[in-house]
């Protein structure tokens, strides 16, 4: 049940990571102790070193992953070799590839740790079992999906009506905490501009102040 592919590991570590997840759940759903026991029994903690991949393109994704610590990103690589970041995921967010999971298809995406990170994995079969035991979790998932969808639409909307500079400023405003944690070239690939352009924009903004 308990497993870890990281470098070192002990039971206390597992417990403290699970505790983060439990706290997250407790804020949103009432779950009995026995159900928590079940959730714990199917949870797998995985450490990731910076640069390590949680998902490789062409692999199948079959779990649900909750970020306990650290920062990851999901991205694809196009024919020309350029990276495109779909989103960043930090503490208390979920990552994965639902497209691969739902359709049982090889993934088009990579998921990579930007910092040393810890994720909690639950295999989809077990996740469905949790749904059966604790149906209120469906409402939680529903809410998360709705918010994610709103955010995605908002991003599409904001992207199209903005210049590169506006996009960057919008990012700074909406995710000030991320701006310092994400390397410039990844941020550029998230905003859909080149690193050079982003570098110049930064300089430009610094000068104005």
Partner DNA sequence: TTACTGACTTGATATTTATCAATTTTCTTT
Partner DNA sequence: AAAGAAAATTGATAAATATCAAGTCAGTAA
Q: List residues near DNA by CB under 7 A.
A: 50, 80, 163-165, 183-185, 192-200, 202-203
Determine if 60 is a binding residue for a second copy (CB under 8 A).
no
- Of 123 and 200, CB closest to DNA: 200
CA distance 34 to 51: 37
In angstroms, rounded to a whole number, what is the distance separating the alpha carbons of residues 72 and 166?
Answer: 24
The binder of 194, among DNA, a second copy, none, by C-beta within 5 to 8 A per type, is DNA
Sequence-ordered alpha helix ranges (H) in the chain: 11-26, 33-41, 98-103, 124-133, 136-160, 164-174, 176-179, 184-191, 195-208
Query: Residue 51 CB, nearest distance to a second copy (Å)?
Result: 22
Residue 11 interacts, among a second copy, DNA, none and using kind-specific CB cut-offs from 5 to 8 Å, with none
- Token digits for 122? 């639950």
76 vs 194, beta carbon nearer DNA: 194
Site for a second copy in 91-110 (CB under 8 A): 98-99, 102
Site for a second copy contains 1 (CB under 8 A): no
Of residues 161-180, those binding a second copy (CB under 8 A): 161
| CB of 10 vs DNA, minimal distance in Å | 24
Alpha-carbon distances, residue 158 vs 80, 86, 131, 178 (angstroms): 26, 15, 35, 18
C-alpha dist (Å) from residue 36 to 31, 122, 139, 155 = 7, 13, 17, 35
State the residues that interact with a second copy by CB under 8 A.
76, 78, 82, 84, 86-87, 98-99, 102, 135, 138-139, 141-143, 145-150, 152-157, 159-161, 189, 192
């Amino acid at each position: 049940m308990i497993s870890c592919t990281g470098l070192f590991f002990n039971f206390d570590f597992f417990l403290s990571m699970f505790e983060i997840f439990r706290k997250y759940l407790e804020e949103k759903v009432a779950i009995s102790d026995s159900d928590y026991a079940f959730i714990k029994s199917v949870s797998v903690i995985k450490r990731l070193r910076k640069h390590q991949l949680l998902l490789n393109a062409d692999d199948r994704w079959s779990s649900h992953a909750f970020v306990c610590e650290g920062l990851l990103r999901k991205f694809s690589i196009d024919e020309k070799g350029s990276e495109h970041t779909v989103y960043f995921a930090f503490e208390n967010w979920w990552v994965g590839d639902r497209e691969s999971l739902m359709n049982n298809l090889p993934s088009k995406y990579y998921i990579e740790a930007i910092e040393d990170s810890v994720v909690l994995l639950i295999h989809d079969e077990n996740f469905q079992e949790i749904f059966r035991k604790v149906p209120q979790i469906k409402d939680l998932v529903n809410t998360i999906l709705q918010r994610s969808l709103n955010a995605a639409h908002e991003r599409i909307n904001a992207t199209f009506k903005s210049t590169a500079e506006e996009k960057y400023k919008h990012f700074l405003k909406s995710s000030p905490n991320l701006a310092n944690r994400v390397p410039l070239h990844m941020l550029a690939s998230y905003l859909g501009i080149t690193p050079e352009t982003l570098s110049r924009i930064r300089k430009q903004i610094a000068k104005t102040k």
